[in-house]
Amino acid sequence: MPNFITQFQIPKFLPRILFMTGLSITIFFNVPMMNKEIRQIRKIQRLLPHRYQIPGYQFAGLEKTLENVHYVGYYTDKDMEQLENAKQFAQAQFMLAPKILVLNSTDYEYTIFDCGSADVALNKIKETGAVALKRNPFGIILARKTQ
Amino acid sequence: MNSLLPYLPFLLSVISGHVLLSLIIGDKKTFSPLLHLSLGTGLGLGVNAYLTSLSFMLLDRYNQTCIITFNIFFLTGLLVLFLRTKNGVYSFTDSLYPNATGLRNHNNILQSVWVLYCLPLFAILRRGSIKQYGLRDTIYFITLIILFIPLFIMAKFYPYGGWDAWAVWNFKAKFLLMAGNHWNLIFDPALWRSSPHYPLLLPLINLWGWSFLDEPTYQVPMLTSLLFTFLTMGLLITGLKEWSKSHLVILSAVCFTVSPFLAKTAVSQYCDVLFGYYLLASIFCLIKARQFNNPGYGFLAGIFTGFLSFTKSEGLVAGLILTALSVFYLIGQHEPPTTFSKKTGIKDKFTMIAFAVGCALTMIPAIVFYTFLAPENITSINGLLSKTNPADFTRLKIILIFYAMELVSNKWNGLWIVLFFGLSLGWKNILKPQILIIPLFLSLYTLTVSFYYFTNTYFEIAWWLSVSLNRILGAVIPTVIFWVFYALWQDDADAKKIGK
């Protein structure tokens, strides 16, 4: 018996078959998940127009006013520890590239105000001695310092 | 016409990569066309990205004319070189036109253009490899296209990629395109959220893609990501076929498309796709270089390793590890002589030298970038020295537990478990000298990454691991899949090698 065990050799094809079986089982379980994922994607695609998929679409159009400007302040009263707010800032940076947005700074000629309410934004604009130039439907205000 | 312009640079990259690969490897009639395409396109895109960077070095800004001119000149130069080779287009021209000597003089402009740009393509397609592998590769190609449909649907949903894609890679590309002479501001510390210390290979490839249209369209980054995923899958199948008779190696590419997480990572336009591709390409070429003692493959492996180091910071680490390992791997060629290595003697040293030259050509720009251009990484605290954020035993424990949890997590749907199962089944072969570079690389890379996770205490470790480890795993998974399949089909590999 011990002799048989020491002399026993695994057939060459066995590891391959075992591996293929394992892989096939994984594929078998993964295909329905992939299908589910694709169905969800198609559903969302139908509901969400392309322009709302563009990162930073809320800030589109501001770049025309900011031609030849390299640094722009970005003031917000939102909690930047929150993922969604941090994401909105990053999206603004992507949309307005190559302008560099400096978070919570009102020291530059132009500042973007992304506040929870228009009153907060307008008070801050007044406080910094700036003038509101534009306000878009998403509540984003672009202000410019006169001096 | 404008709708086709984003695709034109990619087509030129396919051609230039294809011709460059033919010049480096020489006329191998046994070379599979799909393998040629998988390796050549990655090579072409990398070279075109480097040529694009010349615009910034020479003119200190993005310049459409300059970028297009450099790249067209480069392609023309390659085609001229290709024409001059004995296996190049002349032999084909002669067979087509018995009185074709006139074509060699290129007196007629139209004839010259025809000879220069069109005939080489026919010549490549007409090679013996098409006859030998044409049907097989066509079937593989169609299979890959079918496997690619779900990825394409997913990519269309993420036209701008994942968060890090638009916030880091696509942002950098857009910045380089639109900033004019102020492109250096891309390294401003105020942009720390976009990791200004990250290298620029992916942004440069996207910039090359945008160059004909001169506009940052979303199709280009999407195409880059899809193309590199496709090339990785193609390289997996055709690379494994070099050592295996079994058509089941096609399952290696299936792994890529059936895991929703892996598929999402692949189409998210992150740089990890490039990392995965260039790592696999380097390792594949190193194995071939060692097996056949072929300096051409050594040179290619060096080039790919250099590109790898310019993908991202982890790429530089991976590139340096691979370079260090290659010295021992290529010099220690103790396999029985094959058809190619019979003539060796001095040639084995050439393989190592060729690797070093290729590596220097493409890694030097990366080193220059890291030394002179890249700002300091401000998201870093040395936990070994810091008293406020020390690297302690709890951090180490979290890292190790997280590794284990990640590999078995639902996210991967059992893919890693199956791969480890495959490695355990092929345990006799996984450490064989011809593929020893893979386990050595993976071990050293894991150790280095773990050490970095442990010592850089800037981020809270559980959060950091949760957002980055899955991508590191996604980037090395093509190489692991290659290792598993190679180990399990080792016998076929030996048989095929003897056959050669």
**Which of B255, B260, B489 is the closest to A37 by Cβ?**
B260
Annotate B185-197 with DSSP letters as a single string.
GGG-GGGGGG-TT
pLDDT digits (tens, 9 = 90+) for B440-485: 999 999 999 999 999 999 989 999 999 899 999 999 999 999 999 9
The one-character DSSP state at A59 is G
Q: What is the pTM of this model?
A: 0.90
pLDDT tops 90 at residue B317: yes
Minimum Cα–Cα distance from B426: chain A residue: A15
- How close is the nearest chain A Cα to the Cα of B337, in Å? 26
CB B256 within 8 A of CB B266: yes
Q: What percent of chain B has pLDDT over 90?
A: 51
Cβ within 8 Å, pair B182-A97: no
Whole-number Å distance between alpha carbons of B492 and B488: 9
Cβ count near B485 (within 10 Å):
28
| Beta pairing partners, A100 | A71
Find chain B residues with C-beta within 8 A of A20's C-beta.
248, 251
Find chain B residues with C-beta within 8 A of A37's C-beta.
154, 260, 263-264
Give, in degrees to the nearest 5, the angle at Cα B281 between B82 and B33. 50
Chain A residues contacting B via beta carbons under 8 Å:
12, 15-16, 18-20, 22-23, 25-27, 29-31, 33-34, 37-38, 41-42, 44-45, 50, 53-55, 70-71, 87, 89-91, 93-94, 97-98, 100-102
Instruction: Output A8-12 pairs: Cβ under 8 A, ≥24 positions apart.
Output: A12/B491
- How close is the nearest chain B Cα to the Cα of A54, in Å? 7
Whole-number Å distance between alpha carbons of A146 and A128: 10
pLDDT digits (tens, 9 = 90+) for A22-45: 998 988 888 888 888 888 888 877
Burial of residue B147 (CB within 10 Å: 0-12, 13-18, 19+) is middle
pLDDT, average across residues B253-257: 83
pLDDT tops 90 at residue B153: no
**Which of B188, B258, B425 is the closest to A18 by Cβ?**
B425
Cβ within 8 Å, pair B171-A94: yes
Minimum Cα–Cα distance from A14: chain B residue: B425
**Which of B413, B421, B491 is the closest to A22 by Cβ?**
B421
**Sheet of A100-103, strand order:** A100-103, A71-75, A110-113, A141-145, A130-135
Structural tokens at position B170: 């696509």
Cis peptide before A98 (omega within 30 of 0): yes
| Beta pairing partners, A143 | A111, A132
What ranges do the domains of chain A cover? 12-47, 55-145
Residue B117: the pLDDT is 59
Find chain B residues with C-beta within 8 A of A18's C-beta.
421, 425
pLDDT tops 50 at residue A125: yes
CB A142 within 8 A of CB A132: yes
**Which of B157, B167, B218 is the closest to A90 by Cβ?**
B167
Whole-number Å distance between alpha carbons of B469 and B474: 8
Interface mutation target, options A71, A94, A95, A108, chain B, most CBs of B under 10 Å: A94
Instruction: Write down the number of H helices and E strands in chain A.
Output: 5, 5
Residue B499: the pLDDT is 36
